[in-house]
Structure 1
Amino acid sequence: MDAALPSSTPGVEATPKKKSFARHLPTAARVFMGLVFFVFGLNGFLEFIPTPKDLNPADPAVAFGIAMKATGFLFWLVKGTETVAGLLLLSNRFVPLALAIIAPVIVNIFLTHALLAPAGLGLAVMLLAAELFLAWSYRAVYRPMLAMRVTPS
């Protein structure tokens, strides 16, 4: 007798709606980026992931890292930015701001691995893809920021 009910009956659907897996992709990308940046950002301060002992200081990627530390501030600024952005992404707070703050770091990571250390290019590409996907997912938030002419209020 239930099959005879019309689909307009309140609370009864003719065909159940399937829930899309795609609705979870922004959350998965956000958590992935948050974990990567929070862990590697904290590692810059606490050094809980051991560095390989066979690093060659003449290697351009290693020299770049040494130069960042030698500035006295740049390495700590980048690692602090990674940690804060990762925490914001993991806590789902100020996500568009975190994405905007971490974007230059991601470009640097990608270019460093593309040009100096190709071994880590896979993770760099995944981070860049996640950043672009999330920026697209939050595009409505960025629309006012990207307006060509804006009058201050």
Structure 2
Amino acid sequence: MKNKLPSIAGGLLGLAFIAFGLNHFIPFLPSPPSPEEGSPTAMFFAGLYVSGYLGFIKAIEILGGILVAIPKTRNLGLLALGPVVVNIIAFQVFMTGGAGLIQPPVILVAVLSAFLLWSAREKFAGLLN
């Protein structure tokens, strides 16, 4: 069972990123309520949409999700998704004042990413030397 947990976690994390990434291009999930106009959150997302940067991020999410779901490429996928996960958490801390940290998708992504990183820590240790 111990060897199956990273595969299950990788599959779930990959599925989450593929689903949320594809939802940007082909909307199939309900949209969250729009932020209050003129708020920092609204201005932040306006900049991401207008510049096309959000499309790039979502493409990285899809690619990283696919890579994380495949056991042989999981670590490469974690490297691609690491900055995305950090930015998701930073957004929730700084833009929502921490209120968004208790949302289930945020918790799921953070916990699964941390677990996969911890389970492959010996492979990532070379990056720190």
TM-score, normalised on structure 1?
Answer: 0.71
Gaps of 5+ in 2: none
**Aligned equivalent of 2:118:** 136
| Contact kept in structure 2, 1:88 and 1:94, CA below 8 Å | yes
**Percent pairwise identity:** 27
Distance, in Å, in 1 between the alignment partners of 2:8 and 2:43 is 34
How many pairs are equivalent?
126
User: Match of 2:61?
Assistant: 82
2:21, 2:82 → 1: CA distance?
15
136-145 vs 94-103, greater mean Cα deviation: 136-145
Change in 2 beyond 3 A, CA 1:132/1:70: same
Which residue of the partner structure matches residue 94 of structure 2? 115
- Aligned-residue CA RMSD (Å): 2.0
TM-score, with structure 2 as normaliser:
0.83
- After superposing the two structures, state which structure 1 stretch, 129-138 or 50-59, moved more: 50-59
User: Counterpart in 2 of 1:46?
Assistant: 26
Q: Give the structure 1 partner of residue 11 of structure 2.
A: 31
The answer to whether the aligner puts 1:105 opposite 2:84 as a matched pair is yes
| Contact 2:15–2:65, Cα closer than 8 Å, also in 1 | yes
The structure having more radius of gyration, on CA atoms, is 1
Question: For 1:97-151, what per-residue CA distance to the aligned partner results, in whole angstroms no more than 9, with x for missing partners?
Answer: 100110110011011112223246432233122212111111122122221xxxx
Q: For 1:54 and 1:137, how far apart are their aligned partners in 2?
A: 37
- Give 1:52 deviation, angstroms: 4.3
Comparing both chains, which one has the higher relative contact order based on Cα–Cα distances under 8 Å and sequence gaps of 6 or more? 2
Q: Which has the higher helix share?
A: 2
